[in-house]
Amino acid sequence: MNPADPIHVNSVDQTLAFGRRIGTALAPGWVIGLVGPLGVGKTHLVKGIADGNRAAGHPAVEVTSPTFVLVNEYAGRVRIYHLDAFRLLSGADLDELGLEEMIATGAVVIEWADRVAEALPTDRLTITGQSTGETSRTWTTVATGSSAVDWCEALRPGS
């Protein structure tokens, strides 16, 4: 495991900016698991990722939590599959949703990833959000697998 330096944010705008940095670096095959309590800002982070991934000249995509539909898909430089594992019963449900096909054709971002961790590939980034105040958060990124270590490096400021 390779933890990156924690990212401290004091507003939703700063969470979106962190997400945009991820979206700018995003590449096909990336798997990002988002972990943290309700209201920590996981969906806002995905909004930033989608915005940073936006292809030149294309409008912003509307990002919403896929809690009830389970998977949302967003076009951009890299196709993003946004999943919500909160209502899944087990990691086997990810297989039924076509996780391998999603990874083969784009990048996958999974909210509540801790609920299905056993079904996730070894190569992944896990980003954990923790509330540190009314609007402040700390985001910690851990890379598992050799490819994910490279992805984590791509997120460092100045990369």
pLDDT of residue 60: 79
List Cβ neighbours of 112 (8 Å cut-off, separation of 6 or more): 34, 35, 42, 84, 85, 86
- What averages of pLDDT result for each successive group of 10 residues across the chain (159 residues)? 78 94 94 96 95 81 80 93 90 90 96 94 95 94 87 71
pLDDT of residue 1: 46
DSSP state of 88: -
CATH 3.40.710.10 assigned to domain 2-155? The reply is no
For residue 158 the two structure tokens come to: 């100045």
Asked if residue 34 lies in contact with residue 110, where contact means CB atoms within 8 angstroms, the answer is yes
